[in-house]
Amino acid sequence: MSLPSAGSPARHAATVLAPFAVVAAAHIGPAVTWLPGLRRRFFPGLAGTGRPDHIALTFDDGPDPLSTPRFLDVLDVLGVRATFFVLGESVVRYPALARETAERGHELAVHGWTHDRPWLPDPARDTADLTRAVHAVWQVAGRRPRWYRPPYGILTSGRWAAARRSGLRPVLWSTWGRDWTAGATPASVRMTVEAGLRGGGTLLLHDSDRLSAAGCWHSALGALPGIVDGCHAAGLSVGPLAEHGTGRPAETPGYRAPAEPPPAARRGGSGQRPSW
């Protein structure tokens, strides 16, 4: 097969497009961390790996006035606190609900300003959106947020840099419940969680159906008591990322390590699997 000559249209097009290909690769390259196996093995902090006697319970996509209060009530009954990754635009729309979530002892973290897909590189937009989201959360919670989980778990170079500038630490998840699908049920969510959750893991559920199948939040809500009870039966405490001990403090500007957990919470062995 003959190669295009130096002056051919094909060679000229390749020369013109090469810089754009390099930019695109640099932009989307970090998104490979979306792959769970790779993330857990090579980026444990990003996977949310923490204390082996603890499970970090996290929720995405709120606050939602229809569903989020139901989760807050169930968590109160269970005596468990969690980390809620909220959207900045929803915090501005429902500030009282976001404030109530924080006042009821939960941790607010940043899920972005909107739930968009970052196919095109735009570092200025990424920085502006995260800055707005941080300020919105800070205003209602009374404290600066610490964690960032990008929408869809797609962590681009621009989003990573924007998180660093905002003093946020990117954290994805170790296990999810696939609770956003139309066919999800409390039983299916619990079974999916059971297959992958171990001590030290970060669990992803959703407290809103705004960006997924209508009414799917009922599945996560119905599965929640059994998931928490199974963790406790295995000697695993359940709580927010602030108590999880994930990553190294020096990796994020302004990061403060959580206080040492009380003796009652330090039980269970490394890699404990919840009793379902």
Catalytic residues: 60, 206
- 213, 182 contact by CB (below 8 A): yes
For residue 55, what are the β-bridge partners? Answer: 238
Distance of CA 197 to the CA centre of its chain: 15
Check residue 147 and report its DSSP letter.
E
Nearest alpha carbon to residue 274 among 55, 51, 36, 78: 55
Cβ neighbors of 87 (< 8 A, separation 6 or more) are 61, 62, 111, 112, 113, 114, 115, 133
Query: What is the crossing angle of helices 68-78 and 217-233, to 10°?
Result: 20
Whole-number Å distance between alpha carbons of 268 and 245: 16
- 150, 159 contact by CB (below 8 A): yes
Q: Quick one: 86 exposed, middle or buried, by C-beta within 10 A (0-12, 13-18, 19+)?
A: buried
- 203, 234 contact by CB (below 8 A): no
- 139, 153 contact by CB (below 8 A): no
Whole-number Å distance between alpha carbons of 161 and 234: 38
For residue 167, what are the β-bridge partners? Answer: none
